[in-house]
Structure 1
Amino acid sequence: MTTDDCFRIGSTVKTKGLKGELHAYIDFDDIGKIKFNSVFLEINGKLVPYFISSMKYLQKNAAYLVLEDVDTIEKAAPLAKKDIYLPNKLKPKKKKEEFTLFDLAGFTAIDDHEGELGKITDVQEYPQQILATVNYQNCEVLFPLNAEVIKGIDAVKEILYVDLPEGLLDIYLG
């Protein structure tokens, strides 16, 4: 299992008490809609699975997490400050009205003239505009996400159809 197969829901912050409990920060808004009994913690660049003994939500973004076989502060301490992931198959589907340009990360961008550009690796907001990033011909290419560039979105197949401004790719490739 890799981070591409999962989505991040938060991170462990610190230990709590002497019995291996972890204080977790949950930054995924719809966590209450997901039923799960295990999580993956990112340790040294690899995802390690842990079964959950209990998880108690304190408030919207905080929880106490008890993992199976982690029953002392010594076992819990190395698990502090680690990202928490769940498999992509558990990620709730967004309704049409909840879809934003930031949800295009992971979609394949296809240009009217150049064909497939590649997967959108990142979507960032800058003053006045939102930009998408793709790796096209071993080059990082940024292009705006606006009504002039976007020609269509297929949310089921995860494809973004675009018509990039003339010469934009030449700037990166030339």
Structure 2
Amino acid sequence: MIKKESVYKIGKIGKPHGVDGEVSFHFDDDIFDRVDADYLILEIDGILVPFFLDEYRFKNDETALVRFADIDSQERARELTGCDVYFPREHVDTDADQLSWAAIVGFKVVDDRSGAVVGEIESVDDSTINTLFCLLTTDGNELLIPASDEFIVEVDAESHTITMDLPEGLTEL
């Protein structure tokens, strides 16, 4: 059984494309192309299921047209519409300089001064010029922290932690 901790979300399946089982795949991270993936993981009714790729082609920078093995009709493809798509963390290069924003969702943020875990990254907001980590703190609150290089001390991809030198008082906001 595939566990949620071993994968990270990279996109969502859109509508079927044509009649032979091809679907549109709206992605946030093109890791599936960069590491030559054999399969993607779809969440179906709360269960993570691997689907092997037959072929794909890019429609634009955010959408690919994908054909999965054994999905050979528009009806079968329609069943996948709206499914979240995940990628296995084990296939991701652990070089911190190569990690995408999507790959660090689920990482713990550690305060460099105290060594305490501030929270877990739930999402990354890169819709503005100032990218933000959206954290769920250890006491259950939401907190926004600037994802600035000047605050990031170390990224440890193997232990899924980011150590940050946070400005005093930022975690009390």
Relative to the length of structure 1, the TM-score reads: 0.69
Counterpart amino acid of residue 159 in structure 1: I
Residue 82 in structure 1 maps to residue 99 in structure 2: no
In the other structure, the counterpart of 1:57 is 57
Can you list the C-alpha shifts for 1:141-173, whole angstroms capped at 9, x where unaligned?
44455588x37224355331334424x55x56x
Distance change (3 Å), C-alpha of 1:73 and 1:17: same
| Structure with the greater alpha carbon radius of gyration | 1
Counterpart amino acid of residue 19 in structure 1: D
- Take 2:124 and 2:80, find their aligned partners in 1: how far apart are those partners? 30
Q: Cα offset for 1:79?
A: 0.7
- Take 1:100 and 1:65, find their aligned partners in 2: how far apart are those partners? 21
- Take 1:136 and 1:36, find their aligned partners in 2: how far apart are those partners? 34
- Take 1:136 and 1:147, find their aligned partners in 2: how far apart are those partners? 23
Q: Determine if contact 1:111/1:163 at 8 Å carries over to the other structure.
A: yes
Can you list the C-alpha shifts for 1:88-133, whole angstroms capped at 9, x where unaligned?
112244563x679887651331252473333333443687855442
Pick from 146, 158, 161 the counterpart of residue 164 of structure 2. Answer: 161
Which has more strand, going by share of residues?
1
Q: Cα offset for 1:17?
A: 2.7
- Alignment RMSD: 3.5
Counterpart amino acid of residue 32 in structure 1: D
Counterpart amino acid of residue 56 in structure 2: K
Relative to the length of structure 2, the TM-score reads: 0.69
Q: Percent identity?
A: 22
Pick from 131, 140, 143 the counterpart of residue 142 of structure 2. Answer: 140
Structure 1, unaligned stretches of length 5 or more?
none
* 1:60-139 pair list within 5 angstroms: 60-61=60-61, 62-94=63-95, 96=97, 105=105, 106-113=107-114, 115-124=116-125, 130-132=131-133, 133-139=135-141
Q: Determine if contact 2:131/2:148 at 8 Å carries over to the other structure.
A: yes
Q: Determine if contact 1:33/1:92 at 8 Å carries over to the other structure.
A: no
Structure 2, unaligned stretches of length 5 or more?
none
SS at match of 1:89: helix
* 1:38-53 pair list within 5 angstroms: 38-52=39-53
